[in-house]
Amino acid sequence: MGQTVFIPRELDANEPRVAASPETVKRLAGLGFEVIVEKGAGLGSRIPDEEFAKAGAAIGKAADASKADVVLKVRRPTDAELKGYKSGAAVIAIMDPYGNDAALSAMAKAGITAFSMEFMPRITRAQVMDVLSSQANLAGYQAVIDAAAEYDRALPMMMTAAGTVPAAKTFIMGVGVAGLQAIATARRLGAVVTATDVRPAVKEQVQSLGAKFLAVEDEEFKAAETAGGYAKEMSKEYQAKQAALTAEHIAKQDIVITTALIPGRPAPKLVSAAMVASMKPGSVIVDLAVERGGNVEGAVPGKVVTTENGVKIVGHLNVSGRVAASASLLYAKNLYAFLETMVDKAAKELAIKRDDELVKATMLTDGGKVVHPAFAKAVEAPRTEPAAIPATTMVADASAKPAVKKTAAKKPVAAKSPSSKSKGTA
């Protein structure tokens, strides 16, 4: 009998996605694996058990995880799930390890080899495995759909005999994968779109989608991107200048969508309560970073809040999961593409090459230890991050323009080609 891949039903009530599709089940079987899908695992993604069975999977129960050599999941396994895994099993999921050292320690003690899909390096070889891009792309799309659902007016300009309906003014803050898709979707719906980001490389991408770019383009802005393509945290002086610019702009907007995240850090605050108060009644703000503390002051995870001045702040959780039927298909392909690189095609069995760059970048635990260099001390001093994390303010109080101290300009870092994939903001 060959090795077994197990796909469980996610235990989180807010997680409708599943880590396999009928297509990937068929392809996993072609690699020589016996595939077991837990009963009901795909129902939240419109995939009935019968579809998995037709593709060659056996429909099982949660206890079947105990005989699995590979477990494919959406979210990090809970302590209860870990107890059901056999030592040495490879578990591949979106692990969300930052601030969850106790969970990493538990995975190490369980003896599993855990891989974090969100750590996949953004190189050509791994593009098909990039879960941050596949899921953020759908989150950006859904953010605009959610905004349109809460906005009580039409988004495109409409000229009728009875008069003209003006186009909705939409502002996207953070132009990573989610931001770019939000721009494209809002433009398709006919909105007038502007966007901002601290990375200069995205300016041309924004303009290529028909939107206008808004930023304080000084020397610090020119050097505001890391070698890995992520946004740097800006100085207080830059934050104040950007705040003054965006505060005036936000007051005129109908829809604002924030997407800014820096890996391993709390979400930067982009929209203050004063900015929210300056917006017109009926305006909508969608905060895609609400699970990491939020970009918007007043955003509440899992809720749509209406402020005293009639502005709706949308804080839906797991936004890509709101289009689970699409998100699961893409995520399943990401997982299959990664797992395939670790399979010995001749022997038809898992053969993890620990010196492979993809494995080294994504492996969190192995052989009873936390092995990822960013979390190697987790076992020695496990801790659980507090639920409420005070976020760094990127765009602060714009009620007054403080005097900016003159500092020696740093040598600008060469920006990446605008044609390269945007990173840093989800």
Residue among 296, 350, 278, 277 nearest 33 (CA): 350
Mean pLDDT on 222-241:
65
Are 135 and 334 contacting, i.e. CB atoms less than 8 angstroms apart? no
pLDDT at 409 over 80: no
Give the pLDDT band (50/70/90) at residue 220.
Answer: low
Among candidate residues 96, 127, 218, 265, the one labeled active-site is 127
Instruction: Give the total number of structural domains in the chain.
Output: 2
Structure-token pair, residue 42:
């795909």
Q: Which residue has the tokens 């069975």?
A: 53
- 98 catalytic? Reply is no
pLDDT at 398: 35
CA-CA distance, 309 to 254, in Å (whole number)?
13
Least confident residue range of 141-150, 211-220, 288-297, 339-348: 211-220
pLDDT at 230: 56
CA-CA distance, 171 to 284, in Å (whole number)?
11
CA-CA distance, 307 to 415, in Å (whole number)?
39
152 vs 171, residue with greater confidence: 171
In the sheet that holds 90-94, the strands lie side by side as 58-60, 34-38, 4-7, 70-75, 90-94, 113-116, 363-366, 369-370
CA-CA distance, 300 to 298, in Å (whole number)?
6
Asked if 183 and 108 sit in the same domain, the reply is no
3-state secondary structure of 79: helix
CA-CA distance, 256 to 266, in Å (whole number)?
20
Mean pLDDT on 106-127:
96
pLDDT at 381: 52
Query: What range does the domain containing 292 cover?
Result: 139-321
Are 50 and 20 contacting, i.e. CB atoms less than 8 angstroms apart? no
CATH code, domain carrying 276: 3.40.50.720
Mean pLDDT on 201-221:
87
Does 50 map to a domain?
Answer: yes
Asked if 123 and 147 sit in the same domain, the reply is no
pLDDT at 415 over 80: no
Asked if 329 and 306 sit in the same domain, the reply is no
Q: How far is CA 232 from the centre of its chain?
A: 18
- 122 catalytic? Reply is yes
Among candidate residues 3, 21, 105, 133, the one labeled active-site is 133
3-state secondary structure of 339: helix
Q: What is the pTM of this model?
A: 0.84
Q: What are phi and psi of 284, to 5 degrees?
A: -130, 135
Q: Running DSSP on this structure, what letter comes out for residue 412?
A: P
pLDDT at 226 over 70: no
The amino acid present at 147, given as its one-letter code, is A
Does 379 map to a domain?
Answer: no
The amino acid present at 397, given as its one-letter code, is D
pLDDT at 200: 82
- 238 catalytic? Reply is no
Does 144 map to a domain?
Answer: yes
Among candidate residues 9, 49, 98, 122, the one labeled active-site is 122
pLDDT per position as a tens digit, 283-328: 999 999 999 999 999 999 999 999 999 999 999 999 999 999 999 9
Does 101 map to a domain?
Answer: yes
Asked if 42 and 171 sit in the same domain, the reply is no
Among candidate residues 64, 101, 130, 254, the one labeled active-site is 130
pLDDT at 177 over 80: yes
pLDDT at 392: 39
Q: Which helix (H) or strand (E) holds 245?
A: helix 236-250
pLDDT at 224: 58
Mean pLDDT on 38-43:
98
Does 221 map to a domain?
Answer: yes
pLDDT at 418: 39
Mean pLDDT on 134-141:
97
CA-CA distance, 213 to 199, in Å (whole number)?
11
Residues written for the chain: 426
Give the pLDDT band (50/70/90) at residue 281.
Answer: very high
Mean pLDDT on 105-129:
96
Q: Which helix (H) or strand (E) holds 6?
A: strand 4-7
Asked if 316 and 349 sit in the same domain, the reply is no
Among candidate residues 85, 230, 331, 336, the one labeled active-site is 230
Does 232 map to a domain?
Answer: yes
Are 78 and 59 contacting, i.e. CB atoms less than 8 angstroms apart? no
Give the pLDDT band (50/70/90) at residue 207.
Answer: very high
Mean pLDDT on 262-274:
86
Asked if 208 and 124 sit in the same domain, the reply is no
pLDDT at 380: 57
Does 411 map to a domain?
Answer: no
Instruction: Classify residue 95 as exposed, middle or buried by CB count within 10 Å of its CB (0-12, 13-18, 19+).
Output: buried
pLDDT at 419: 39
Mean pLDDT on 113-141:
96
Are 135 and 108 contacting, i.e. CB atoms less than 8 angstroms apart? no
3-state secondary structure of 52: helix
Mean pLDDT on 217-240:
65
DSSP string, 116-163: EGGG---SGGGGGG-HHHHHHHHHHHHHHHHHHHH--S-SS-EEETTE
pLDDT at 41 over 80: yes
Residue among 346, 294, 385 nearest 103 (CA): 385
410 vs 366, residue with greater confidence: 366
Are 330 and 130 contacting, i.e. CB atoms less than 8 angstroms apart? no
CA-CA distance, 339 to 20, in Å (whole number)?
12
pLDDT at 422 over 80: no
Asked if 155 and 281 sit in the same domain, the reply is yes
- 127 catalytic? Reply is yes
Please state whether beta strands 349-350 and 343-344 pair in parallel, antiparallel, or not at all (unpaired): antiparallel
pLDDT at 106: 96
CA-CA distance, 102 to 31, in Å (whole number)?
34
pLDDT at 376: 82
Asked if 359 and 278 sit in the same domain, the reply is no
pLDDT at 1 over 80: no
Does 405 map to a domain?
Answer: no
Cross-strand pairs, 285? 256, 313
pLDDT at 228 over 80: no
Are 174 and 258 contacting, i.e. CB atoms less than 8 angstroms apart? yes
Q: What percentage of residues in the chain have a pLDDT greater than 70?
A: 85
Are 91 and 352 contacting, i.e. CB atoms less than 8 angstroms apart? no
- 230 catalytic? Reply is yes
